[in-house]
Amino acid sequence: MRFKKSSFKIIFLCCLLTIVGCNSSANKANSINDLYAITNFYVATDLHYISHSLHDNREAFQAFIKSGDSKMLNYSEELLDAWMQQVINARPKAVILSGDLTNNGEKVSHEELAKKLGIIKNSGIEVYVIPGNHDILNPWARSFKEEEQLKTDYISPQQFEVIYADLGYNQAVDRDQDSLSYLAKLSDNLWVLMLDTSIYDRNLDVGYPVTEGELSQSTLAWIGEQGALAKKAGTQVFAVMHHNLIDHSELSSLGFTINNNEQVIAQLKAAGINLVLSGHSHIQDIRSQDQMIDVATSAFVVYPHQFGDLHYMDSSAVLEYTTKKIDVESWGRSAKPNNVDLTKFTEYSTDFFRQNSYDKVYKSLSSQNYSDEERDKMARVMTELNLHYFAGTVNEMDKNFIYSDGIKLWNTAKPQFLKTYVLSMLKDTKENNRTSIQLSSAK
Task: State the residues that interact with Mn ion by CB under 5 A.
Answer: 100, 132-133, 280
Nearer to Mn ion, 69 or 327 (CB): 69
- Pair 299, 46: CB distance under 8 Å: yes
Q: Output the CA angle 138-141-143, nearest 5 degrees.
A: 175
Closest separation in Å from C-beta 283 to Mn ion: 12
Closest separation in Å from C-beta 99 to Fe ion: 8
Give the E-state strand segments of 340-440 in sequence order: 434-438
Q: Which residues contact 13 (CB under 8 A, 6 or more apart)?
A: none
For residues 6 and 372, give the distance between their C-alpha atoms in angstroms, rounded to a whole number. 96
Q: Does 135 bind Fe ion (CB under 5 A)?
A: no
For residues 349 and 353, give the distance between their C-alpha atoms in angstroms, rounded to a whole number. 6
Closest separation in Å from C-beta 232 to Fe ion: 36
Nearer to Fe ion, 100 or 428 (CB): 100
Q: How many residues bind Fe ion (CB under 5 A)?
A: 2
Closest separation in Å from C-beta 251 to Mn ion: 17
Q: Which of these ranges, 93-101, 138-146, 188-196, 220-228, lies near Fe ion under the rule CB under 5 A?
A: 93-101
Closest separation in Å from C-beta 299 to Fe ion: 6
String of DSSP letters for 212-243: -B---HHHHHHHHHHHHHHHHHT-EEEEEESS
Interface map 421-440 toward Fe ion (x if CB under 5 A): --------------------
Q: Which residues contact 195 (CB under 8 A, 6 or more apart)?
A: 130, 179, 181, 215, 219, 223, 239, 240, 241
Give me the count of residues in the chain. Answer: 443
Nearer to Mn ion, 69 or 329 (CB): 69
| 126, interface contact from Mn ion, Fe ion, none, CB < 5-8 Å by kind | none
H-state helical runs in 392-426: 405-412, 417-426
Burial 142-178 (b: 16+ CB within 10 A, else e): bbbeeeeeeebebbebebbbebbeebbbebeeeebee
Nearer to Fe ion, 203 or 274 (CB): 203
Closest separation in Å from C-beta 282 to Mn ion: 8
Nearer to Mn ion, 98 or 236 (CB): 98
Nearer to Mn ion, 132 or 227 (CB): 132
Nearer to Mn ion, 71 or 107 (CB): 71
| 39, interface contact from Mn ion, Fe ion, none, CB < 5-8 Å by kind | none
| 133, interface contact from Mn ion, Fe ion, none, CB < 5-8 Å by kind | Mn ion
For residues 386 and 408, give the distance between their C-alpha atoms in angstroms, rounded to a whole number. 17
What single-letter DSSP state applies at residue 165? I
For residues 47 and 39, give the distance between their C-alpha atoms in angstroms, rounded to a whole number. 24
Q: Which of residues 44-63 bind Fe ion (CB under 5 A)?
A: 46
Nearer to Mn ion, 133 or 267 (CB): 133
For residues 388 and 392, give the distance between their C-alpha atoms in angstroms, rounded to a whole number. 6
| 213, interface contact from Mn ion, Fe ion, none, CB < 5-8 Å by kind | none
**What residue is closest to Fe ion based on CB?**
100
Nearer to Mn ion, 186 or 258 (CB): 258
Q: Output the CA angle 346-349-355, nearest 5 degrees.
A: 135
Q: Which of these ranges, 39-47, 58-66, 200-208, 332-340, lies near Fe ion under the rule CB under 5 A?
A: 39-47
Q: Which of residues 98-117 bind Fe ion (CB under 5 A)?
A: 100
For residues 156 and 105, give the distance between their C-alpha atoms in angstroms, rounded to a whole number. 10
| 76, interface contact from Mn ion, Fe ion, none, CB < 5-8 Å by kind | none
Nearer to Mn ion, 133 or 189 (CB): 133
Closest separation in Å from C-beta 304 to Mn ion: 18
For the chain, the maximum distance between any two Cα atoms, rounded to a whole number of angstroms, is 103
**What residue is closest to Mn ion based on CB?**
280
Closest separation in Å from C-beta 71 to Fe ion: 8
Closest separation in Å from C-beta 281 to Mn ion: 8
Cα-flanking dihedrals φ and ψ of residue 123, to 5°? -85, 5
Closest separation in Å from C-beta 58 to Fe ion: 24
Binding footprint of Fe ion on the chain (CB under 5 A): 46, 100
